[in-house]
Amino acid sequence: MKNSKKILTASKENYIKAIHEIAKEKQAARVKDISKALNIGASSVTEALGKLSEEGFVNYEQYGVITLTKEGLSLAEQLEQRNKVICDFLSNVLLIEEENLADSAKQIEHGIKGNLLEKLVSFFQFTQICPCKEPKWLRGYKAYSMNGNKVNDKCSKCISHCKENNLTKPFSDNSVNSCCKSCD
C-alpha cells in the first residue's frame, strides 16, 4: 500500500482486516475473536499481534483488547477499498459469479505483488469510475464471455478488418488509428 513503507505479508493483511471487521461490530477485538475469525490458534494470534504492535499497526497488551492504531486503521480502510475495487471489477467486467468473488479477489490480492497490484487496482478502479460510456472493447468482451468465448459477427468483421489493414496492435504507435472504425 502506498501509505505504508512496511512490507506486509498476506497473513498480516488478514490480521489487520479481521481486527477491523471485528472492531466495526464490537468496538475492539480480543485474541479469541481474531482466532475464531481467522481459524488460527490463539498462540499464533498472540505472536502476530506482538509483531503488528511493534510495527505500529495495532494497540495490544497481553490479555487486553486489541484496536488498530491510526496507521492500522488507515491501512485497513485501504485494504477494504482495494478489495471492493477488485470485487467490483471481477463482477461487473469479468462477470465472475458472486459465490466466487471473495476467493478470486483474495487470490489477486495475495498472488500479485507490489507495483503490479497497485497498477491493476488503479486500472480496475478507472474502469468503474470513468464517466465515459462503456468502451467498445468492454462491451465486446462481455459479449464474448457471455457467448462461451465465441466472437460475435460484429467483432469478427472488426478482427478481419484489423488483420487486412495491419491494425493488429491499435494505438501501439500512439496514433489515433482505431481498429474499431469498421465497427462504427
Residues 15 and 56 in one domain: yes
- Whether 5 is in a domain gets the answer no
Number of domains in the chain: 3
Residue-wise pLDDT for 13-60, tens only, equals: 999 999 999 999 999 999 999 999 999 999 999 999 999 999 999 999
Q: How far apart are CA 71 and CA 48, in angstroms?
A: 17
- Domain range for 161 is 136-170
Measured CA to CA, the distance from residue 45 to residue 51 in angstroms comes to 10
Could you tell me if 85 and 57 lie in one domain?
Answer: no
Find the CATH number of the domain harbouring 14. 1.10.10.10
The CA distance from 130 to 132, in Å, is 5
Hey, is 166 helix, strand or coil?
coil
87-112 pLDDT per residue, tens: 998 998 888 999 999 999 989 988 88
Pair 120, 152 in one domain: no
Torsion of CA 74, 105, 22, 72, to 10 degrees: -20
Name the amino acid, one letter, at 124. F
| 175 part of a folded domain | no
User: Domain check: are 33 and 45 in the same one?
Assistant: yes
The structure's pTM equals: 0.73
Residues 14 and 66 in one domain: yes
The angle subtended at Cα 116 by Cα 110 and Cα 121, nearest 5°, is 75
- Contact in structure between 58 and 67 (CB atoms under 8 Å): yes
pLDDT, residue 182, reads 46
In a domain, 48, yes or no: yes
89 and 119 in a single domain? The answer is yes
Same domain, 83 and 59: no
